Structure 1
Amino acid sequence: MYKLSNSLLNIAVKPKGAELCQINAVKNKNQFMWHADPKVWASYAPNLFPIIGCLKDDKYLFEGKTYHIPKHGFVRHSEEIKLISQTENSLTFSLKFNDALLKIFPFKFEFILTYTLIGNTLEVNHTVKNLDNQSIYFSVGGHPAFKCPLHKNEKYTDYNLVFETEESAQTYLLNTDNGLVTGTTKPAFNTKNSINLKPNLFNDDALIFKDLKSRKVALVSKTKGEILNVSFKDFNYLGIWAKPNAPYVCLEPWLGIADHENTTQDLKKKEGIINLPENQTFTASYYIQIHERHLG
C-alpha cells in the first residue's frame, strides 16, 4: 500500500491498478471512500484505460483486425503498473506497452497516473504518451466510489448530488443486458441542479451524461451540508453509479463512453475516442475536494 498524508487527510493507493482506496480525515477519522465490500462491489476507484464501459461483443476493430479488451480496460486489474516517483505530496505510477498488451491494444504507449495531495484536495492526473509511429486511440476516466451516507443516523435519501449550474441534460440509458448505450434518454434531475439519491436510482444501471454544463458536482447531506465535491473540467462525460441499495455513490469523470448498440466497432469511429498523434502527450485531471467541516 502506498500512502500520502498531510495535516488534514490520509490517502492510500493499492499497488494493483494503482487504485485509490482510502481518503481519511486525520483528526476525526472520517472515512470518505467506499470500503469495497466484495459481497456488494469489490472496488474502490478503478482507473479506466484504454476504454470506458463495455464493447459490443467485447471486441473492437482496428485496421481490419479484431481485438478484445475487458470492460473499462486493462489498467484496473494490472499488476504491472509500477510506482516510479514519490514526493512528500505525490505518487506517480506508470504502465508501458508490452508484448501481451500489444495483442489486445496494438499501440505503443505509456500511461502515467499521478496522485497529488494539497490541503483538502486530491488531484488525479492522467498522462498518456504516444510512443508509436502512428496515432493511438483511447479513452480514459475515473470511477471513485464514495461512502454514502457518511454519518450515523442518516439515510441514503438524505443525500443529493448538487451541480454547480442549472442543468437540462438527460441521462442516456444503457441496455441492461449488454451494457451498451441505447438511443433512449430520460430526465434525471429532481431540481434544476440536483439529483436526490435513492436506493432504486440505479436499477437501470448508471446515469450517463454527455452534455452537462457543470464541471463540478458535490455530494451534499440535507443535515450535514456538503461532504465533498468532484471537479472534472478536462472531462466531457460523467457517469454516476452504484449497485442498487448499496451505501455508496460513484462519481465518474470520463473521456469516452461505452459502445452504442448500433456501433460499427471501428475504434477510430468510436464516440468519445481520443486520437493522439505520434510523439504527442495527453493529460487530463479531476479533483476530489473534501469539505473542511467534515475533517474535525
Structure 2
Amino acid sequence: MYQIKNEFLSIAVNPVGAELSSIKNLETGIEHLWQGNPKIWASQAPNLFPVIGVLKNGEYTFEDRTYKMPKHGFVRYNENIQLISETKNELVFELQFSEESLQQYPFKFIYQIAFKLNGKSLEVSHKVSNLDKKPMYFSIGGHPAFNAPISLNEDYEDYYLEFDRKMDLRTYLLNDEGLVSKKTKGILDNENKIWLKKDLFEDDALIFKNIPSTKVALKSKISGSVLSVEYPDFKNLGIWAKPGAPYVCIEPWLGIADVEGTDQNLKNKEGIEQLEPGKIYQADYVINID
C-alpha cells in the first residue's frame, strides 16, 4: 500500500488498480472507507475506465471489429499501473496502452489518477490523454464505498444522503443482464434526501442520468454530517450497496452501462466521451470529511 497523510487525514492506495483502500480521520480515528469484506463485497473503490457497468454480451464493436471488455473496464484489478509521482500530499498513478490493452481497446492512451490531500478533503483527479491518430471513445468514473454506520450505537437506517438541492429524481432500472432499461422508478419528488434502507438496492444500483446536483452528503440523524462528495465534472451518479451491507457507494460517472437497445457500436454508446487526437481530458471529484 502507498500512504500519505496530513494533520487531518491519512489515505492508503492499493497499487493494484490504483484502488483507494483507506480514508482515516486522524482526529476521530474513524475509518470512512469500506474495508472490503470478501464475504459481502471484496472491493473498496474501483476505478472505472474505459467503460462503466456491463457491455451487452461483454463486448462492443469499433470499426467493424468486435472486442471483449469486462464490467467496469480494465483498470480495476490491473497490476500494470505504475506510481509515477509521490509527494507529501499527493500520489499519482499511470497506466499506458500496451499490446495487451490494444487487444480489447484499440486506442493508444495514457490514463492517470491522482489522490491529493487538501486539509480535510481528498481530491481524486482523472486525466486521459489520447496518443492516437483517431478520436478516442471512453467512459470514466469512481466507485468509492463509505462505511455506514460509523459508530456502534447507530444503525444503517439512521443514515441518509442529502443533495445540495431539491430535485425530482428517477432511477433507471437494470434488467437481468445488467443493462439499463427504459423502466424508471421515482426516488425523489422535489426532495433532497434519500434515507438508507436495507432494501433500497434490491433492484441494484440507483442510476441518475444528467443529475442537476453536484454535491451529496452522507449524514446520520444521530452523529450528524459524516462526509460529502462533490462531482461537478460528472454528468451521472450511481448509488449502490450490496443489500443489507454496512456501506454505501457514491459513484460519479461520465458514462453508463449499455442500454437494452444498444447497437454495441462504441461510437454510439450512450454517455460515451469523445477525445480528439493529442488532447487531454480531465475530470475530478472531491471527498470532504466532516
* TM, length-normalised to structure 1: 0.97
The structural deviation recorded for 1:211 is 2.9
The structural deviation recorded for 1:251 is 0.1
- Helix, strand or coil at the partner of 2:100: helix
Quote the residue 2:185 is aligned against.
Answer: 186
Give the whole-Å Cα distance in 1 for the aligned partners of 2:11 and 2:202.
31
Quote the residue 1:214 is aligned against.
Answer: 213
Superposed counterparts of 1:48-197, under 5 Å: 48-175=48-175, 177-189=176-188, 192-197=191-196
Is the contact between residue 167 and residue 189 of structure 2 (CA under 8 Å) also seen in structure 1?
Answer: no
Give the whole-Å Cα distance in 1 for the aligned partners of 2:177 and 2:151.
36
Q: Which amino acid aligns with 1:136?
A: M
Q: Which amino acid aligns with 2:250?
A: L
Give the whole-Å Cα distance in 1 for the aligned partners of 2:190 and 2:278.
46
Where structure 2 has 5 or more consecutive residues not aligned to the other structure, the ranges are: none
Q: Give the percent of matched residue pairs that are identical in Structure 1 and Structure 2.
A: 53
Give the whole-Å Cα distance in 2 for the aligned partners of 1:262 and 1:28.
49
The structural deviation recorded for 1:151 is 1.2
Larger fraction in strand: 2
Give the whole-Å Cα distance in 1 for the aligned partners of 2:210 and 2:234.
11
Dislocated runs of 4+, deviation >3 Å: none
Where structure 1 has 5 or more consecutive residues not aligned to the other structure, the ranges are: 292-296
Deviations 1:45-96 (A, max 9, x none): 0000000000000000000000011000000110000100011100000000
User: Is 2:243 aligned against 1:244?
Assistant: yes
Superposed counterparts of 1:272-287, under 5 Å: 272-287=271-286
The structural deviation recorded for 1:189 is 2.5
Give the whole-Å Cα distance in 1 for the aligned partners of 2:95 and 2:81.
4
Give the whole-Å Cα distance in 2 for the aligned partners of 1:129 and 1:7.
33
Deviations 1:235-255 (A, max 9, x none): 000000000000000000000
Quote the residue 2:34 is aligned against.
Answer: 34
Quote the residue 1:256 is aligned against.
Answer: 255
Q: Which amino acid aligns with 2:27?
A: K
Deviations 1:226-275 (A, max 9, x none): 10000000000000000000000000000000000110000000011010
User: Is 2:27 aligned against 1:15?
Assistant: no
Is the contact between residue 190 and residue 196 of structure 1 (CA under 8 Å) also seen in structure 2?
Answer: no
Q: How many residues were matched structurally?
A: 290
Is the contact between residue 51 and residue 72 of structure 2 (CA under 8 Å) also seen in structure 1?
Answer: yes
Quote the residue 1:44 is aligned against.
Answer: 44
Give the whole-Å Cα distance in 1 for the aligned partners of 2:122 and 2:215.
14
The structural deviation recorded for 1:191 is 6.7
Give the whole-Å Cα distance in 1 for the aligned partners of 2:38 and 2:187.
29
- Helix, strand or coil at the partner of 1:57: helix
- Helix, strand or coil at the partner of 1:268: helix
Is the contact between residue 169 and residue 211 of structure 1 (CA under 8 Å) also seen in structure 2?
Answer: no
Give the whole-Å Cα distance in 1 for the aligned partners of 2:183 and 2:167.
18
User: Is 2:201 aligned against 1:202?
Assistant: yes
Q: Which amino acid aligns with 1:267?
A: L
Quote the residue 1:294 is aligned against.
Answer: none
Give the whole-Å Cα distance in 2 for the aligned partners of 1:26 and 1:231.
22
Is the contact between residue 228 and residue 290 of structure 1 (CA under 8 Å) also seen in structure 2?
Answer: yes
